[in-house]
Structures are given as structure tokens and as C-alpha cells.
Structure 1
Amino acid sequence: MAAMSSENHPFPYLQHGSIFNPSEASGALLLIMLGKVSLNIFLLQVRRQKFRETFMGYFCISLALLDLVLLVTMSFLSHFQNLILLGVRFTKYHTCLLAQIAAFTYGILHYPVFVVAGLDYYFTITQSSKSPNVCRKSIYTAVVVFTWISAFLYVLSLPGNSIGLDHSNSAYQCPFYFSSQTYWLSLGMLLIICLVPVFCWSEVVAMVQSIKLTSFENETVLVFPYVPECSPRDCPKHLLTRLLICFIGTWAPFVFLQMLIVLLGAQIPAFIEMNVPWLYFVNSFLVAVAYWMRRRHIELTEVTWDADPFISWKFCFVPFNCEYADEAQKSSSEIANELL
């Protein structure tokens, strides 16, 4: 089926994808949403529990809750077909309609969330206080609620034929919408990740050549003992290299997945693209950018490294000191033999 032209479409970056009969789409939607909700809950459980509260953290929790509500609602509509509630007759077509509204709402939020989270880190990354701040919590909650309500109301204000079922066809086709916002964000982040090694090639080579395999706190770790004459904060290229190593060391599988999606041009329904793993991937990228941009104003305290629930950025500013761990370490050759 031909996609709706960009001139007539309310969102040029949202396009029709595969089209299904609502009865067929209902089961697929429920399975997809069940998988997404399970992945959201799993990632929220495995993150570090002690980390600084941020806008992105609040938004991820709100997204997980909304996905759960969406799954329960879609399951209810799918099970109780031809239900009349408050004078409205709910059928299997409303399941598809709900998914389309969610697709439009989620599809327009990638850029706003990226910008707001980036500004949040830029202005708060240098703060060393971790004490509860009622005012900040209230602001984050209000901004998250305002973001969701604004997007939802904007989508509902669109013409009915833009987000509703295709009533021109007696079969009531159910299109899946795709957003290009994640594509351009992924492409931009991947370009930066690929350009950093080129820009910092000498630092990358020096750090790779100095790599050592050792044991620290009963765990086998990779150590980069190379330290320039200046401190990391005064050596932009060196700090950028360390930030890249920390980021890739944690998100390498996800970076590879994003490369495949961009290269293959894979299209994922808009209500699936906005998920907790994707947001935390973007979150770590924004934290790294904020650390680098505000490097001269960062205080070297333990609280400073708690902005990210998955990556400890302490390594970037306070290099590993082997002198304090000599008694707990083994030689790299002994560890290599054990691993073999």
C-alpha cells in the first residue's frame, strides 16, 4: 500500500508501515507490548539503585508505567469485545486505535526528551550535593507530566483521519506507524562515537598499548595505567577517550544494534522505539557529553559519578591507581593462564 504523502501527513517523520487486519494486529500488539513491558521492568531492576535523580530517570519510570497501563488496557479491550462502557461501544478496532495514538504520542517525544535531558545534565552535572531536594523532585515530576499531557493533547487535536482507522476500507485496516526521530538521533550519536577515535587517535593508541589485565577486589578487570602529564580535566582529548571507553564498555551490544538498524534501514513501530533501554542508552551519551563540556567545573567527589544508573564515570577523572591494590592483584600472566 502506498504510504501517505509527507505533504498531507501531520508528522512528516511518521509514515505508514505494515498494514494488518485489526483482528490479526490485536494479538501481535499484545505480544509486542508484553515483551516491551518485561524489558522495561528488567532494566529498571538491574540498574544501580543509588544514583542522582534526573529528568531522564523520572521519564523512564513514567514510560514504564504508561506502557504497563497501555498493555492492561489493550488486553482488556481485546478480551471484552463489544463492551459498552459509558455509552461507548468498544471493539477490537479500538485496540488498534489505541496503539496508533500511542505511536503518534511516542513518536514526537524523542527530540523534546533528548533536549530537556541534555539541558538538565548540562546545568546540574557539576552539583556535588546528593541530599534530597523536594523542589527539584517537584520540578522533574511537573516537567514529565507536562511533557506527556502536551504530546497527548496535541495528538488528539489532529484530524480523526490522521490517527484513526482507515474507514475508507471496509476491512478497517490497521497501519503501524514508524518515526524517523530515533533514526536521526541514532545516526548523530553513532557519527560522534566514530569520530572521537579519529579525533583522539594518539590517545587511543597510547591507552590501548598500556592496557593490562589484573585482579581488583576479586574481579578480573582491564586497567589503563596510561596517564598524561596533565590531569584529565585539562586534557580534552584524553578525557574524551576515557569517556568513550567507559561508554563503549557498557553499551557495546547496543551500539552494534544501532549500527545494524541504521545500516539496514530497519523500521520499528513508533510505540516500540520509545523504550527504557533506548532512553538509558541516550542518557549515558548525554551524561558523557555533559561531563566533557563541563569538565573544568566538576568537583572530584563520589557523588559526582552517580548521575548515570549504569556507568560509573569515576574512571574518566580519577584513573585507577595500581599502587593501592598491589596486594590484591595478580600478574597479568597468572590471570591469563587461569582464564585459559
Structure 2
Amino acid sequence: MTALSSENCSSQYQLHQTSQPLDGNCLLVLIILGKIILNILTLGMRRKNTCQNFMDYFCISLAFVDLLLLVNISIISYFRDFVLLGIRFTKYHICLFTQIISFTYGFLHYPIFLVAYIDYHLNFSKANFPFKCQKLFYFFIVVLIWISVFAYVLGDPAIYQNLNAQNVYSYQCPFYVSIQSYWLSFSMVMILLMAFITSWSEVTTLVQAIRITSYMNETVLYFPFSSHSNYTVSSKKTLLPKFIVCFLGTWLPFVLLQIITLLFKVQIPAYIEMNIPWLYFVNSFIIATVFWFNCHKLSLRDIALPVDPFVNWKCCFIPLAIHNIEQIEKPISIITC
């Protein structure tokens, strides 16, 4: 695998390059099809009626772009050589479209992370729009991000020269790995590791005492409340181990996958790496981060907690707000570790 030369790409988008046979169009179609199936399964497993934030709208748009890419390369792969609207399409355009999508996906990680964080942070203020206006606002932001990144990729001279440098008759098709994805994954894993090391004893105690209980017709994890403690909702030290347990309880396999990928320096093409499971993993991490930094503003009575499609963060706060939950709802089972 050879890295893109510094003359062709600036440090802002250092993307790694490798090659695969251009004739392996069938394999590429199968890879994209598998990714689409994974996206559909992930969207189907999420909690219903959670399309209330920016990340959900972007995930839907990503599924649409993946489907559009699959349709395009499938048509070109089937007809091989044809003319449409005065433009001649050959099997080389399969490689070209995939490269453009890879570059585009590679630049999306930081903007998506930043916008999602701002979106959740604003949920703790009173600057909320009416629901219909909010949906239109999210739709506009998603479209704006896609157009901006596409325009940047197609308009950047270094990327344009790199795309044109590929020989049309070559049997090698390069694909790219985003450096943004690497550093984002590295940062999240390191933060989780430091958080776990900082509160590993509290995490161990919680895991040993966790109960599954029913609250408001939902099954939640119950962290027993000590009547002799001075825990409050605003205590970051108290919430941190509970966040770790909730987060790892849902995403531990994904965290281990990130660690393996980082340790062995696995180079995953950007058109595969940017997927809906990855985005929901980042989404849960962002929600936990926003909760932790704004824990002094949390109030179950006044603020509706942002809905996570996969993690029920409310179980981190219920024991702090309802000390007699054991008398209200009888635990349905106990987990012992």
C-alpha cells in the first residue's frame, strides 16, 4: 500500500491508497450490497420514532447515497459500454465513481461529529424550533453538507489531478482510507480507555450490583442507590462509571473491533468504513459526552433527554432522581457477575 504523495494531497486530507483489480466489478457490487443490507438491518433495529436529531437524518441520507452508488455501478457493470446523454460510460467509470465516493466519505467524519455535537448541545438550551421547522432545518443541513463536501472533492485541484492521473486502460483501481476516521476512532478509544482506568473500581462495583427492572413500561438497568451517599445528578464522578457501563454494554463488540483495527493498522476503504453502525456508535459517544459535560443541567422533569436509537441513557439518571424505585417497581431479574 502506497500513501498519496505530499505533492498531490495536503495534510488536511492525507488519504492512503491501495489497488484492486478493475475487473473485480462483481466483488465491488457484492461489497456495496452487503453494506446496504447492514445499513437496513441497523435502521430496522433502532428504536422507533427516534428521527428527532441531525444524526438520524444523515444516516438516512447515507443509506440513500449507498443505494445510488450500487445502482450506478450495477448498471455500468451490466451494460459495460454505453452512451447516455452524450456521455460514454465504461467499466472505468465504476472505479472513478467509487473513488469520488471514497474521497467524499473520507471528509465527512469531522463535519458530522461536529454538527451532531452542536445539535445535542443545543438540546440543553431553550433554542429549539417547532418540530416541522426542525425537520426542515435538519434536511437543509444534511443537503448542505453533502453538496459542500462533493464540491470540495470535485473542485480541489490536488484530488482532481489524482483522479485524472489514473490510466483509463489500467487494470488497477485505487481506493482510499480516510485519516479523519482513523484519528476519530483513536480519540474515542483513548477517551474510553482513560475513563475506564479512572473509574475501574466503580465500574466493577456497578457491574456486580446491576439489576434489570421495569420503569415506565420500559426495561432499564437499575444502579442501586446508597442512602448514605451524597450523589447528585450534577456529580460527574458519579455519572462517569454509569455511562461507561451503559455504553460498553451496548457497543463493546464495536469498541473491540476499533481496537483491533487500530492495533493492526487495518486499512478499510472509505466507502466501506463510513456506514450507519459506525455513525450510531459515534452518536452514542457524542450523547454520553454531552450528558457528562452538561450533567448540572439535567432534570428528568424539565428536560426531555435526547433519544439514542440503541442506548437507554435514562437508566443512568433514574436512581439519582427516584430513590425509592425499588418500592415503585419490583426488579424482574438480577444480574450477578
TM-score, normalization by structure 1:
0.87
One-letter code of the match for 2:238? H
Once the two structures are superposed, the pairs formed by residues 254-265 of structure 1 within 5 Å of their partners are 254-265=254-265
5+ residue gaps, structure 1, are none
Percent identity between the two aligned chains = 45
- Which range is displaced more, 300-309 or 169-178? 300-309
**Paired AA for residue 136 in structure 1:** Q
In structure 2, the partner of 1:325 is 329
Partner residue, 1:225? 224
Instruction: Call closer, same or farther: CA 1:8–1:318 in 2, change over 3 Å.
Output: same
Look up the match of 2:34.
35
1:176 and 1:149 mapped to 2: Cα distance?
Answer: 21
Distance 1:103 1:20 in 2: 14
Name the structure 2 match of 1:142.
Answer: 140
- For 1:99, the equivalent position in structure 2 comes to 98
3-state DSSP of counterpart to 2:3: coil
2:238 maps to what in 1? 238
The letter of the residue matching 1:13 is: Q
Q: 1:32 to 1:179 in 2, by over 3 A?
A: same
1: distance between equivalents of 2:299 and 2:114? 24
Secondary structure of 2:175's aligned partner: strand
Equivalent residue pairs, number: 327
Match of 1:175 in 2: 174
Aligned partner of 1:13 in structure 2 is 14
Give the Cα–Cα distance (whole angstroms) in 2 for the partners of residues 214 and 282 of structure 1. 26
Moved more, 34-43 or 44-53: 44-53
Displacement of 1:256: 0.9
Give the residue type in structure 1 aligned to 2:248: I
SS of the counterpart of 2:103? helix
The AA in structure 2 aligned to 1:195 is: M
Query: Aligned letter for 2:134?
Result: R
Q: Is the 8 A contact 2:234 2:296 kept in 1?
A: yes
Q: In 2, are the aligned partners of 1:97 and 1:164 still within 8 Å (CA)?
A: no
Residue 106 of structure 1: how far off its partner (Å):
0.5
Is the CA contact 2:81–2:89 (under 8 Å) kept in the aligned structure 1? yes
Please give the alpha-carbon distance, in whole angstroms, between the structure 1 residues aligned to 2:102 and 2:262.
Answer: 20
Where does residue 120 of structure 2 map in the other structure? Answer: 121
Confirm whether residue 189 of structure 1 aligns to residue 188 of structure 2.
yes
Are the equivalent residues in 2 in contact too, given 1:40–1:277 (CA < 8 A)? Answer: yes
1:261, CA displacement in angstroms?
Answer: 0.6
3-state DSSP class of the match of 2:99? helix
Shift in Å, 1:200? 2.5
- Conservation of the 8 A alpha-carbon contact between 1:122 and 1:290: yes
Any gaps of 5 or more consecutive residues in structure 2?
none
Structure 1: which amino acid aligns with 2:143? V
Q: Distance in 2 between matches of 1:123 and 1:306?
A: 11
Q: How far off its partner does 1:171 sit?
A: 2.4
1:37–1:302 distance in 2 versus 1, CA, 3 Å: farther
The root-mean-square deviation of aligned C-alpha atoms, in Å, is 2.7
- For residue 135 of structure 1, report the CA deviation from its aligned partner: 1.8
Which residue in the other structure is 1:312 paired with? 312
Call closer, same or farther: CA 1:177–1:260 in 2, change over 3 Å: same
Question: Deviation at 1:182?
Answer: 1.2
2-side partners of 1:266 and 1:247: how far apart?
24
Structure 1 residues 57-93: Cα deviation after superposition (integer angstroms, max 9, x where no partner): 1111100111111111111111111111111110111
- C-alpha separation between the residues in 2 aligned to 1:170 and 1:42? 38
Give the distance between the partners of 1:163 and 1:297, measured in 2 at CA. 49
Paired with 1:105 and 1:170, the residues of 2 have a C-alpha distance of: 24
Task: Provide the rounded CA distance (Å) in 2 between the counterparts of 1:64 and 1:301.
Answer: 36
